[in-house]
Amino acid sequence: MKIRKSATVTDVARAANVSTATVSRALSKPEMLSKDTRDAVIAAIRATGYQVNQAARNLRMQRAGAILVLVPNLGKPFYSEILAGINEGFADTDYSVLISDTESRPKADTELVGNFLNGRVDGVLTLDGNLSSGTLDNCQAAGVSQRIVFVCEWVEGEFFHSIRSDNSGGARMAIQHLYELGHRRIAHVTGPKGNVLTKSRREGVQAERNRLGIPAPPEWIIRGDFSLGSGEIAAEKILAMDPRPTAVFCAADMVAFGLIARLHKSGVVVPRDISVVGFDDIEMSGSFVPGLTTIRQDRRKIGRLAAERLRQRLNSTEIDNAIDLVEVELIARESTAAPPA
């Protein structure tokens, strides 16, 4: 049986009646050629069955052809739409998108920069705001910080480009919504201690309370951790309060789900007895019973924007670090109503 020889660049050039250099330009920098020439080369590639040796091409161009996405917990439904947006943002490129769960496998201070220096990745999108200062210092010292973009979370005091939602503004929307319904006794279940999202949303809550003149006792600020379990624990604390708040703003939808479930088990009905607002608008928020009033983050847009910014940074050294602030939106559903008479 005769083995068919693979087509080469020379075969493509002969079929298109152009030089091998023109074929190379059509593959690497098509914008340099006229449309007729590009079309001729594409037709010749199809006719000859030529396939690009991507590994060899990456080696010649001193690139890895891969983007690494760091996710703090892949099991959380919050990240699905962001990852989908990132994939969409690289769909028209030859980059592979690699995903690493940093919670199940924490990285040593030298591992991230090693991925760059060893030629494994070209850029990094990190959804993990808990990267160590040692990791980030190593990346800056190696001159690769230009190719790292933070998504949703960030590290205070570090100078990296970041894509983030208007967390403070969203928290203010939540408090204003409850106030307009007539609530004055509003509790807040926060995120984990030391988290930048916790801080931003907490600041938004406090700023809007101050503006509206509705102070709250310290015990109405309840520490959570963005999980169902922390919502259940917060509900236990609220059930023991006298007087109880008439409304609760939770720093994440998952917290709100846990809170509502536990309240209902004790006969406290949402929103008849207590109104609840979440943050994120994950997929199940509209299907939960009652439908959850929440602050929507456009997570797919965040993912696409993150991919766009990283692509720009991979192709230029003249881009400054900055913050892209993505607007949020209040989605009113059945979990909020006027306070009980």
What DSSP designation does 106 have?
A: P
Q: How far apart are CA 341 and CA 338, in angstroms?
A: 9
Give me the number of domains the chain comprises: 3
Both 193 and 294 in a single domain?
A: yes
Q: How far apart are CA 255 and CA 248, in angstroms?
A: 11
Q: Are 234 and 189 in contact, with CB atoms under 8 Å apart?
A: yes
Both 40 and 134 in a single domain?
A: no
Look up residue 238 and give its two tokens.
């609220």
pLDDT of 55: 43
Average pLDDT over residues 327-334: 97
Q: How far apart are CA 48 and CA 168, in angstroms?
A: 57
Both 46 and 191 in a single domain?
A: no
Q: Is residue 4 part of a domain?
A: no
Q: How far apart are CA 97 and CA 78, in angstroms?
A: 19
Both 287 and 171 in a single domain?
A: yes
Q: Is residue 61 part of a domain?
A: no
> Tell me, what CATH number does 149's domain have?
3.40.50.2300
Largest CA distance in the chain: 88
Q: Are 77 and 299 in contact, with CB atoms under 8 Å apart?
A: no
Both 175 and 114 in a single domain?
A: no
Look up residue 341 and give its two tokens.
């008479």
Q: Is residue 99 part of a domain?
A: yes
pLDDT in tens, 18-71: 888 888 777 666 667 788 888 888 888 878 877 655 444 443 444 568 999 999
pLDDT in tens, 65-118: 899 999 998 888 999 999 999 999 999 888 999 998 988 776 677 788 787 777
**123: nearest Cα among 316, 325, 322, 318:** 316
Higher pLDDT, 55 or 127: 127
Both 127 and 209 in a single domain?
A: no
pLDDT of 2: 43
Q: Is residue 143 part of a domain?
A: yes
User: Domain range for residue 29?
Assistant: 9-52
pLDDT band at 132 (very low <50, low <70, confident <90, very high): confident
pLDDT of 58: 44
What is the distance between the terminal CA atoms of the chain, rounded to a whole angstrom?
A: 88
Backbone angles phi, psi at 83, to 5 degrees: -65, -40
Q: Does position 245 have pLDDT exceeding 70, yes or no? A: yes
Q: Is residue 195 part of a domain?
A: yes
Q: 3-state secondary structure string, 23-91?
A: HHHHHHCHHHCCHHHHHHHHHHHHHHCCCCCHHHHHHHCCCCCEEEEEECCCCCCCHHHHHHHHHHHCC
Both 179 and 243 in a single domain?
A: yes
pLDDT band at 148 (very low <50, low <70, confident <90, very high): very high
Higher pLDDT, 167 or 134: 167
Both 127 and 275 in a single domain?
A: no
**309: nearest Cα among 177, 173, 147:** 147
Both 71 and 97 in a single domain?
A: yes
Average pLDDT over residues 188-215: 96
Both 115 and 201 in a single domain?
A: no
Q: Is residue 60 part of a domain?
A: no
pLDDT of 106: 67
Both 156 and 201 in a single domain?
A: no
Q: How far apart are CA 255 and CA 115, in angstroms?
A: 35
Q: Is residue 139 part of a domain?
A: yes
pLDDT band at 1 (very low <50, low <70, confident <90, very high): very low
What DSSP designation does 95 have?
A: -
pLDDT of 272: 96
Look up residue 190 and give its two tokens.
């926060």
Both 218 and 197 in a single domain?
A: yes
pLDDT in tens, 271-328: 999 999 999 999 999 999 999 999 999 999 999 999 999 999 888 777 777 899 999 9
pLDDT band at 10 (very low <50, low <70, confident <90, very high): confident
Q: Is residue 181 part of a domain?
A: yes
Q: How far apart are CA 149 and CA 312, in angstroms?
A: 11
Q: How far apart are CA 300 and CA 99, in angstroms?
A: 16
Higher pLDDT, 328 or 11: 328
